[in-house]
Chains A and B, each alone.
Chain A
Amino acid sequence: MELRNISKGFPGVIANRDISMSVERGTIHAIVGENGAGKSTLMKTLYGLHRPDSGTVAVHGQVVDFRSPSDAIEAGIGMVHQHFMLADNLTVLENIILGAEPAKAGVINAREAGRKIAELAKSLGVEIDVNSPVAELGVGQRQRVEILKVLYRGAKTLILDEPTAVLVPQEVDELFDNLRRLVAAGTTVLFISHKLDEVLAVSNRITVIRQGTTVGTVTPAEVTRRQLAEMMVGSDLPQPAPRTTQVREQVRLEVKNLTVARVGQRDLVRDVSLAVRSGEILGVAGVEGNGQFELCSALLGREHSTGTVAIDGNDVSRASVRERMNAGLAYVPFDRQREGLMLTSSLWENNLLGQEEKFTKFGFVNVGAARAACRTVIKRFGVLTPSEEVPAFALSGGNQQKLVVGRTMSMNPAVLLAAHPTRGIDVGAQAAVWEEVRQARDAGLAVLLVSADLDELLGLSDRVIVMFEGAIVAELLPREATPELLGTYMTGAKVGS
């Protein structure tokens, strides 16, 4: 497969420009780049989800023009998306054969389909029950369904978009085994990632993308991790600066025996007790989906839970979200678009959300003051926008995040729940957000920091706890926590003290 001078723009931004690379048959070819470097845009071009503005794609020397994914499928290209493209209420079999059903006069031949899937599963080295609904499968199994789905269509080239993001290390190893098996059988794998160790471990060749364009192609033998990282970022890696501890005596957030139960499921949060002191940042590590979200929701008062929560010594276990906020709790949500923003509303209205009490006179909103407050946030957090009148959807993801963080910080909280506070924002802004959090901490803020970015977690936190299947399985100091050690705890392979 060969790409020549691919460019693709979206209103206001250029996602890809002048990308060229060639992929050899029967190899694992990695494409690495930072978040937002344009990897996913490129993959969508390859898969026919949109057409490039200029440039050509050639498969086996033939120039192709994909108008839809089915064209790509026809050319033997299959894609495993980062967010699984599976229908939860359909069975594994239905998900796999969808769009390529073996049928006679329109009636599906389920038996033949089942046999073919069983064969493919065998060649991949996995076991799966084709008749169970996808809703009942775990993450690793779902990914296997995705891969089977692509193979079922006879794909000779497999595109995997950030396949390891949701997997625990053991599952990653299994995945890599599966991929090596496939490549040995003549399949080509395009592997998109920003995790350099994995890329170095599994791929035959590596293409680096930065700011929408190709920087170069190397083999793992030629480069070190450090060199690759520099190619990716373009300059030195950002590292949270080392700091002196500011932890004081006063406990600001105290949680005892917090449990979130769901009927018919295992507990989402299991008997969690923790305390965060004034001036302390407590990091929460864990693979996504191990109860971090539910823990934050329960602390915020959105999720029903048992156990006690106290803020500055006041028991708020039965308090509403608003009462907890008044007691000093603030929250940077996991998903800014779902939980943080009203996309079609202006920035000042978004900034007002959650602090409308403060800007109300006789029951009516004081629009002037609300706008001024928003302008302050925009300035202090460097939100790139022409004015506070712009609707939130018009901003880039990073600037939306800055607004959400800014709004939260400007409430002057006593306790901050920050979930992925720097997700999706550029390096410069990341440093600015870290600095703000640090300053507030030094002024006495207590922070519960949930992050998937281990560098961020270890760099900012005074202590780190690890969550696995809803429970705290370890508590560590950043200096004793290596990424490797954290990884063992995060997978539940070991339970610490």
Chain B
Amino acid sequence: MKQIYNRHRIADEVYFTSITDKKFKVNSITVNFITEMTHNAAENAVLDRMLTKCCEKYDTMAKLNRRLSELYSAGLNYSVISYDDYQVCSLSANVLDNRYALEGEDILRETADILLGCIFAPYLENGAFPEQSLDIEKQNQIDDNDSEINDKTRYAHFKALETGFTGEPAALRWGGTNEEVGAVTAKTAMNAYRRMISETRAEIICVGESSFDGLDKVFADAFSKLERRVKPLPESKISPLKNEVARVNENLDIEQSKLVMLYKTELRKPYPLIVMKGLYGGTESSKLFLNVREKMSLCYYCYAGLLYGKGTVNVECGVAPENIGKTEKECANQLGEIVKGNFTDEELEFAKLYIINSYRSMNDTVSGIGGKCLTSILTPELDVDVEERVRGIAAVTREEIIEAAASLKLDTVFTLMPGEKEADE
């Protein structure tokens, strides 16, 4: 079955994409508001939460959730992420396909209407968001920020990025700081709302069994009622290499240490970097997995990631405290092996096959397709068509891998170690 992909502009800096694939039993509609990461991040994050709690038509959380439940457990969700130098605030609705509605109801259209209502007709009191709800969502955002510590792997990752991208938008927290969240008022939340719907680039992505006929017009009508004044989204910049490697250690009363190393590159070739990352530490046949984890048993997890838009490769390990130095050295050594060309054609082929398999598998989930579309919009060098991406991966040469590995320079090393809480920079 073929996927039908269609993206078109429906208003000033508003784009509507629909991907129809008859194999799915559910449909998803996501409205992504994309803005440069700034100190407004906290207002946007709190607002995103507020908008999924109620709306003019369903003016309490209970009424809204009740109606969504009646629609066979339709979901209405918010998400706030940082992507390169951007903050992406998303509101999404997921619902079963109409053919599974037991009484023939048009559950897709009604769920879409609820999503539209939440975005364009929020529940207000005297023209402002109710103070009590705002206070609850501010507190929830602060709790979410603080809960980063619950997952030490994630905590170490973000702490490393904070150091690695110092002074850049990408160093800011996706949900703002607690102080910024605390300072949000009914007035600033309303300003953030106006900014979001009138001044922010929007990408609406619909995926599922439905053809989503007419939904573009419904969204176009809603946006046409606003006076849109959108500044073009600034280009995300790659992160410059520091003059000397930044080393930061933090101590916490924990059992296992974490090591995060950030390498920077100025190379702007996505596919060679993706394959090199796979060969180095992105698969179960990679150098880091097979050597550092399996052969040397230095750590429980050890992998490499790529933040292409920031020109950064992150290496992350969970390691016994006494092995931290040895692990850092060995991770660097494995990269050096690639630079020297010490990898077989077979290893290269395996990395490519793994990536190709994961690209093709993306087409088998609604969230995979939605994520792929958004990524290719934010990183235009990455094709939206999976087979185009597959061709890009397949064409990468040994020389390009060596070039990509050689372009990496160590920029930041963050360690989380057991001990009395203290930060040492």
Co-assembled chains A and B: no
